[in-house]
Structure 1
């Protein structure tokens, strides 16, 4: 990290002998800022009753973040392109196509997409996006994650497709599975994105995102009532369940810091990002998400004890399931995968441990996790799809 940080300063040096000292000075400044953020945040949650120290701590962390970002963004953006963080083998041969998922490991929307890819057994690469620079997705007009990029060859030409928005990506993948004669290029046209400028903010909308699109060859034998229920509960996940997560995971500064340390380990940030960047994200992110959690809590009328709102949402889901194993019956549907992805996003945090300890949803969660991890959705691809020239078939799962 020292060399990239020093690179922007080299033009100011008057002699080569100054370079080692200048490199060390810049490196130490950046690391000191991260330690300052850590101490400031620690002071604020260890002694929360001291209002003055809390304000000072928050102010120092904010000023530090602005100053440090100038160095971190320049250095990391210059060195980060689109590196693959890991490869998920899957169990399907999808021919001359490669799926790449751009994500944050703990993002609930990204977890929804990973659950879908794993359920169907698709092989895919994962690119962990730097939440500060977002340099890995600078190729995209859509500046959020997840983004799924498909590179392939249709027999005549190479192609690259980009799918944005978690619900769109899930619908695309499911449509691709159920209608095995329609190419991804064609399916992409069914989900047009509408971009609108609202002041400085760019807002995207995908009107069809909860609909699965079929051609004439339909492998889905469900009734329209069942399909409508699936769409309704997928929307419920985005509109209700998602808003209970941040007030619970980041309920206090202590829980927020614990969560970010867990996310750092889970996402292997030490392998993908520089030490100053990782520490910066952990400690400034702790403060930022604590504040965002409080904003979300007020905006969406989350109860004073946010656990109650989380448990009530899970109560509603379990009541809808009734005696069924899943909303999809004997097998999960897209709504099941959406709920699982939302809850899995904070697996390992205190809020998740509390939920699994005190709520009946644990049985459902454990069952669907086992099904996802064994790729049981791959049984939908038992027939050789015409657009998978190299697909060798996969036997139906029990």
Structure 2
């Protein structure tokens, strides 16, 4: 009874159900999609197909292996993107910057981990929070300035992929420095590393100690690029200026400004092609990055190799983009030599004490201290003694007043 019902429904569906006495494996399956079209499959037979235990095991292994491979590739890709995001704007790959903004009544999120840097030398009363990536040259440049001047500040390490710590900000890069004043709405966000340093230096030397007003001296200027692929171009006025409220600049100030611009436009661009120059150096750099950033043990392992492989090839494009020679080490050495010519016979570019150009160069180079590129630069040029003198001045907060 059940078999006849099954054959009845199959006939209604357009399928011919073989009789029980017929050999099912020796006939054609007929499937009708219309009254005039018919498809026939090849004949199945026990000679052509054998379902054995070994066949099932092999199929299972292939399925599990394929699934694991796809999952591994997807996970590795996500981790690599996370590492690349950590480098974006950090090692000279993405250098877009943003101007300072006032944030009345902004609600900052509570970061899971905040490091408090408290200096007894700080007499400014500024409440500062730095949102950063530990290995970012621009972040290192800001930290060098803060440490040299003996300022107290909080550090929030930003998760490179989700960036929940800077959810409050439309600007999605680091460094971000937030000043929180005594009043509830007295809050200022500064984004560009050079703007941050210029604004804080202006605050330290100016008679008017109003940081809210000082940051307005660094306005954002937007324009439109030409060509058929027109895009918005953002520049920031006075990024490398100290706003003293008086016209003109001294010769020393012009010279200091020139080399601060050189750090952002020349020195930083030499880092990625040099630290990813070879496969070995790429693995070394990503091992250092993984150790310093917020990654778990498995992600650190993947970053060392997947990230290194990706950046090894990206560095080749960066070399072409920044018009560097095939021997990228020579470009790094030339940059170090140019800087030391500017320093001359003095202890520092600023004379007896570091100026902002000294701190900028030191901050950027400190992000690669210990890597082969840094060690080769120190051994092949005479930048080493200057670097260690500047490091000593920063660590001991010799710019504090």
CA–CA separation in structure 2 for the residues paired with 1:87 and 1:313: 35
Q: Which one of 255, 265, 272 corresponds to residue 281 of structure 2?
A: 255
Q: Which has the higher helix share?
A: 1
Higher radius of gyration, 1 or 2: 2
Distance 1:277 1:97, change over 3 A: farther
1:286 and 2:308 correspond: yes
Q: CA deviation at 1:194?
A: 3.5
Normalised TM-score (structure 1):
0.69
Match of 2:214 in 1: 187
Aligned pair count reads 308
Match of 1:170 in 2: 197
Match of 2:259 in 1: 233
Match of 2:340 in 1: 318
Q: CA deviation at 1:243?
A: 0.9
Match of 2:179 in 1: 150
- What's the CA shift string for 1:240-292, capped at 9, x where partnerless? 11111111111122211111212233x2x4xx444455445444432333233
Q: CA deviation at 1:170?
A: 0.9
Match of 2:155 in 1: 126
Q: CA deviation at 1:180?
A: 4.4
Bigger mean CA deviation after superposition, 293-302 or 202-211: 202-211
Contact 1:104–1:110 (CA<8 Å) still a contact in 2? Answer: yes
Contact 1:110–1:146 (CA<8 Å) still a contact in 2? Answer: yes
Distance 1:93 1:339, change over 3 A: closer
Distance 1:231 1:99, change over 3 A: same
CA–CA separation in structure 2 for the residues paired with 1:315 and 1:106: 24
SS at match of 1:378: coil
Distance 1:93 1:322, change over 3 A: closer
Match of 2:398 in 1: 376
Contact 1:130–1:136 (CA<8 Å) still a contact in 2? Answer: yes
Match of 2:132 in 1: 103
Match of 2:375 in 1: 353
Q: CA deviation at 1:115?
A: 0.4
- What's the CA shift string for 1:333-392, capped at 9, x where partnerless? 11111111111110111111111222200010010100010101113xxxxxxxxxxxxx
Q: CA deviation at 1:114?
A: 0.6
Match of 2:23 in 1: none
SS at match of 2:181: strand
Distance 1:81 1:153, change over 3 A: closer
SS at match of 1:126: strand
Q: CA deviation at 1:144?
A: 1.3
Q: CA deviation at 1:203?
A: 5.2
How large is the Cα RMSD of the aligned pairs? 3.2
Distance 1:188 1:83, change over 3 A: farther
CA–CA separation in structure 1 for the residues paired with 2:150 and 2:300: 31
1:211 and 2:211 correspond: no
- What's the CA shift string for 1:171-223, capped at 9, x where partnerless? 1111111114321111111112245688798754212100011247x9xxx96
CA–CA separation in structure 1 for the residues paired with 2:70 and 2:132: 24
Contact 1:84–1:125 (CA<8 Å) still a contact in 2? Answer: no
Contact 1:132–1:281 (CA<8 Å) still a contact in 2? Answer: no
Contact 2:80–2:303 (CA<8 Å) still a contact in 1? Answer: no
User: Higher relative CO (CA 8 A, sep ≥ 6), structure 1 or 2?
Assistant: 1
Distance 1:246 1:86, change over 3 A: same
Distance 1:91 1:34, change over 3 A: farther
Runs (5+) with no aligned partner, structure 2: 1-64, 86-108
SS at match of 1:319: helix
